[in-house]
Amino acid sequence: MNENTRKKFTLEILRQVKGMNFLILALLKLSRLDAGVVEFENKEINLKNLVEDIISDLDVVVDIKQISIIKNIKDVTITGDYNWNKEAILNIIKNAVEHTQEGKNVYIDIDENDVYSKITVTDEGNGIAKKDLKHIFEKFYKVTDSDSNSFGIGLALSKSIIEKQNGYISVDSKIGEGTTFIIKYLK
């Protein structure tokens, strides 16, 4: 086999192994959450710092797609586990970035009131069909036009993490307009 063909096969194998590694780790995390064996740290988390950390992790993808992230972030804190919350919110923001077309925007708002602290993530993507909307937090559910590399685990994992830390997540979407995820952590 010539060198170019060998390189192509090697890169494809590497891509497949990375995909399987992600799937295995996500399934293990989800299984641990479902079994109730995860012990969350209860420390103060500054949501502004957490979201800035997540945006920093996504810089390359955001830059390649030429997407603008518009932030309206207040200095709000919650009590919870930083790493697990980062995992949950990263999945939501990453999905928003992936489903937003080049040159469009993703909006991230952080606010609070006397009852809850709230993170809102809105994209300018294609939106999610009504028939899919009620199922997107189910394990292994993939929307009709999802990427072939999607496993249908990320949103189920995010929901489980958020709910186990005194929060809840909801979604609203309109075809052709985009999708909004709202995460609320009760005080």
User: Among the listed ranges 43-47, 48-52, 154-158, which one has the minimum average pLDDT value?
Assistant: 154-158
pLDDT value of position 10: 84
- Give residue 147's pLDDT: 58
Nearest to 175 by CA among 143, 128, 135, 133: 128
The answer to whether residue 66 scores a pLDDT higher than 60 is yes
Using CB atoms within 10 A of its CB, is residue 167 exposed (0-12), middle (13-18) or buried (19+)?
buried
Res 142: pLDDT: 63
Residue 146: the pLDDT is: 57
- Mean per-residue pLDDT of the chain: 87
Better pLDDT: 53 or 13: 53
pLDDT of residue 6: 82
Question: Which of 16, 106, 122 has its CA nearest to residue 61?
Answer: 106
Rounded to an integer, what distance in angstroms lies between the CA atom of residue 160 and that of residue 27? 12
pTM of the model: 0.81
Predicted confidence at residue 149, as pLDDT, reads 56
Share of the chain above pLDDT 70, in %: 87
Write down the pLDDT at residue 26: 67
Q: What is the 3-state secondary structure (H, E, C) of the chain?
A: CCHHHHHHHHHHHHHHHHHHHHHHHHHHHHHHHHHCCCCCCCEEEEHHHHHHHHHHHCHHHHHHHCCEEEEEECCCEEEECHHHHHHHHHHHHHHHHHCCCCCCEEEEEEEECCCEEEEEEEECCCCCCHHHHCCCCCCCCCCCCCCCCCCCCHHHHHHHHHHCCCEEEEEEEECCCEEEEEEEEEC
How confident is the model over 139-186, as pLDDT tens digits? 766 666 655 555 567 898 899 999 988 999 999 999 999 999 999 999
**18-32, 45-59, 114-128: range with lowest mean pLDDT:** 18-32
